[in-house]
Each structure stands twice: as structure tokens, then as C-alpha cells.
Amino acid sequence: MKIGIASDHAGFEQKKQLIEQLKEAGYDVTDYGAHTYEVTDDYPDIIVPLGMGLLHKEVERGIAVCGSGVGVSVAANKIPGVRAALITDSYSAHQGVEHDDMNLMCMGGRVIGQALIWELTQAFLKAKYDGGERFQRRLNKVIALEKQFK
């Protein structure tokens, strides 16, 4: 599976560690930035390349890390085709994919530790979209909302 990853300065160290873990686990990882630690960078700028990677199917899933995870989640959901959520527990990490076809998991590097980041990442990447009638019906409504408010 091709995974895209991005972080601002507040998630930079966690992103570096996560890239190593993902590669060791056999994932194909694309780092969309930031590529250097820059305390003045802004999360909206770093999430756009990852969101575009998802939109253009360069990657199947994305992971973004900022200080709380809220900023990257808010910004990512402005990009058509991106279904991002702030994740802090294993249930939501897999359920978001299974029920809502979430394709971008957002986490807070200042609020959760590396062990939990890895646990959430594994749950997110192992999950598969259910595709059942009720889930697809709801997803279709979300996609319609996205088109309605372009």
C-alpha cells in the first residue's frame, strides 16, 4: 500500500519516526513535507501536497501530524476527495475507514506519544471500507455535500 505522510514543525519528529516504522513494516511511503524542521511553517501549507496526492491517487491513504491534529484535519477537509479525521483511539482509526471511507488520518504530535501513533497507524492501515448499502448511502451524501458547496 502506498502511504503519504506530512507534518508541520509540531509533528516533525513523530513523522520521521513513523516513516521509519512504516518502511520497516513494508509500506511504500511518500513524504510530502515538511522536509526540514522550520518552526515558522504553517499546517495549511504542508497538508495541500498530501491532499493533492490523495486526490490524484498517488497514494492510497494519508497520515498527517501537527501539534494537536486539529489544524491539519480542518485544512485537509477543504480538499475535494479528502476525508480526514482527527484520531486519538484505535476504534476510530479503523471504524473511520470501515464506515466512512476515511483516507487521511490526522494526529497530534504534542498530545499523543509515539507508541500510540504507531498503534493508531496500524489500525488505520489494516482497515478496509465496508461498502455496505448504508455506508455507501452515507458516503454518497458526503460526496454530494462536497459538490454542493464548491
Q: 47-105, pLDDT tens digit by residue?
A: 999 999 999 999 999 999 999 999 999 999 999 999 999 999 999 999 999 999 999 99
* Predicted local confidence at residue 150, as pLDDT: 73
Question: All 3 cell numbers of residue 53?
Answer: 496526492
φ, ψ (nearest 5 deg) of residue 61? -140, 155
| Whether residue 9 lies in the annotated active site | no
The residue from 56, 94, 99, 106 that is catalytic is: 99
* Predicted local confidence at residue 34, as pLDDT: 96
The residue from 9, 66, 94, 106 that is catalytic is: 66
Each residue's pLDDT tens digit, 2-41: 999 999 999 999 999 999 999 999 999 999 999 999 999 9
| Whether residue 94 lies in the annotated active site | no
Residues 6+ apart with CB under 8 A from 73: 64, 84, 85, 86, 106
Residue 26: which region, alpha, beta or left (left: phi > 0; alpha: psi -120 to 50)? left
Around Cβ 40, how many Cβ atoms within 10 Å? 6
Tell me the residue range of the domain where 31 lies: 2-148
Number of domains in the chain: 1
